[in-house]
Amino acid sequence: MTITRLPYPSAPRGDQVDDYHGTTIPDPYRPLENPNSAETKAWVEAQNRLTFAYLAGIPERDRLRERLTALWNYPRNGVPWRRGGKLFRFKNTGLQNQDVLFVSDERGERELLDPNGFSDDGTASLRNLSVSRDGRFLAYAVSQGGSDWQTWFVRDVQTGEDLPDKLELSKFSGAAWLPDASGFYYGRYPAPSEGEALTSANYGQQLYLHRLGTPQAQDELVYERPDDPERGFHASVTHDGRYLVLTTWKGTSPKSLLAVRPLESTGDFVELVSSFEAMYAFVGSDGSTFYVQTDAKAPLGKLVSIDVTRPERGWQDVIAESEHKLVSVDLAQGELLALYEADATHRLRRFTRRGAFVADVELPALGTVTTVNTEPDESEAFFGFASFLFPTTSYRLDLAAGEATALETPAMPFDASRYETRQEFVVSKDGTRVPMFLVHKKGLALDGSSPTLLYGYGGFGVSLTPSFAVTRLPWLEMGGVLAVANLRGGGEYGETWHEAGTVHGKQNVFDDFIACAEHLVISGVTRPDKLAIQGGSNGGLLVGACMTQRPDLFGACLPAVGVLDMLRFHKFTIGWAWVSDYGSSDDPEQFETLLKYSPVHNVVPGTCYPPTFVTTGDHDDRVVPAHSYKFTAALQAAQGCDAPILIRVETKAGHGQGKPTKLIIEETADVLAFLVRALQLEL
């Protein structure tokens, strides 16, 4: 099909030129970094008009939206958890924009919190929550339009009514309740400058204690480090109420610090870990014995313990490092539940508190344990399990009997028996063995004719284990192949695998993804004109880098909310926190590395780039939309053929968290419709 060249709107331009260590770099689209300027708003509106006019000309779009709506319309129940004898659980009847929280106690089951009432259009969402140890109060955080900023409220679980408490300026924070439910610890930031909430950098998080019934202005400052404003803090209160545990993080690096003090003390914390050398995650305690997960001298992870009354005795191994990555550990009555990852699929194992192996928990298939909910004094646990073809199912694990029982089986209008999942291993450019999952209809013909969607991430230690997403089902139903690549930079094989895809090793991630694409072609699954690549956030960077390095290899590209200007990402909101993975243009050597792959800076005029559909949200205050704006403007100006370069800017939406069902369905239908046209598919 011949695609008519599109009349792209002219982007606002400037004559900005930056000097990086003696190298001058033009930044002509710098004006697009201002989301509030009249020029940027007019450009966004014009781009959306062009995009939606283009999509309106694709007849399959309505059918895809209808099918997505039908597939989404099935009851879903989240994984339960207990507090104070009460059982809490999220539910969704099918097409509700946000999941609803229910509570069960001696009065039976009742609705406790319905986020669908936060706003008329569903764009205000529940961002975080914490139930007090006795089950009396629910602290919950609300975000507007997908923003990372959150406002805390408190609800009485018994009455279902909100208390007058309201806490603002919180970000990247949970709530840790005092044992008597009289208040909780939370983190907040200084207020951003007026009009700069979307772009100003976030530094100087502080840890506060809020007492119920008091105004936020009276909250007690518990901890801060003005001498090191990049530090952030997470508070935990031990289950027995004896200790306050302080975890300090810095950016997105997994390395952390750990300190403790008696809960009633106002004195100094005792440092258990005093330098950022490894990851230390507090798991729980037995009296003064603390259990901590770490990768110190164990890149695949292990569990250690320490007596906080005698920290000089040092750490003791409880569960030693094994051949598989240790994902998490949870405390149940007399036991430890350890979740492992083996070749990007999960295993769940039981140990005694002393670290002796008890048994494996039988899982239904190769897939992902989505959540593990336990209480240190309960003889039951709840967990969720999912795979590419089966939605998340909740299980109750009876520790005494050693049996896991499904609470219910989700019923949805999709016949999973017609499809299969397999795993292959691809050899990357430097010989590294890279796993990749393939999901498709049974009896796939390896004649290169199958439209294929290759998805990846490759960063920040994030593992892409099998996950269920309704958004992928129409692609499978129309005969498409879903390929999910487990690239370096992720966490599939522990910290060594992660570090191999960071800073000067970031090109390894792109090489891995390109190798997976080439494997799909060589093995006969697809061919370049039928191959689309997709990724979001750091995955958007992945797509942007690969399409500028190998535009010949792909038939369509879908970068979503991507980090695309690698010379300036650290200057906005929380972008500075990603320097541990990417490096910084402030460093001369790292600048050279970043410049080589930065998508915005590697668009070459006259190149024929594949059909590209950029998606972002105008309220994204994590990866600011300027990344997508500048990349789109550069691609449209440089495009050497008639393949479309389009951007879809969602209003009242951010980085993706809390996006209402209605908007997800609309955006997914548009993405799939674009693929139908770009890859010349027939439904």
CA 537 – CA 560 distance, rounded (Å): 6
Are the C-beta atoms of 517 and 526 separated by less than 8 Å? no
Question: Alpha-carbon distance 369 to 349, whole Å?
Answer: 12
The Cα 352–Cα 631 span in angstroms is: 53
CA distance 563 to 627: 6
Residue from 537, 584, 598, 628 carrying the catalytic annotation: 537
Q: Residues 545, 510: contact at Cβ < 8 Å? A: yes
For the question of residue 387 being annotated catalytic, the response is no
> Is 570 one of the catalytic residues?
no
Output Rg (C-alpha) for the chain, integer angstroms. 25
Neighbours of 466 (CB within 10 A): 22
Of 452, 659, 453, 649, the closest CA to residue 558 belongs to 453
Helix axis angle for 506-522 and 588-597, nearest 10°, is 20
Spatial contact of 281 and 292, defined as CB atoms under 8 Å apart:
yes
**Cβ(69)–Cβ(95) below 8 Å:** yes
Q: Which pair of structure tokens corresponds to residue 658?
A: 């809390």
Give CA–CA dist 570/62, Å, rounded: 40
Instruction: Name 484's bridge partners.
Output: 437, 455
Count of C-beta atoms within a 10 Å radius of residue 408 = 9
Amino acid residing at 63:
R
Report helix, strand or coil for 365: coil
Q: How far is CA 605 from the centre of its chain?
A: 34
Kindly list the catalytic residues. 537, 655
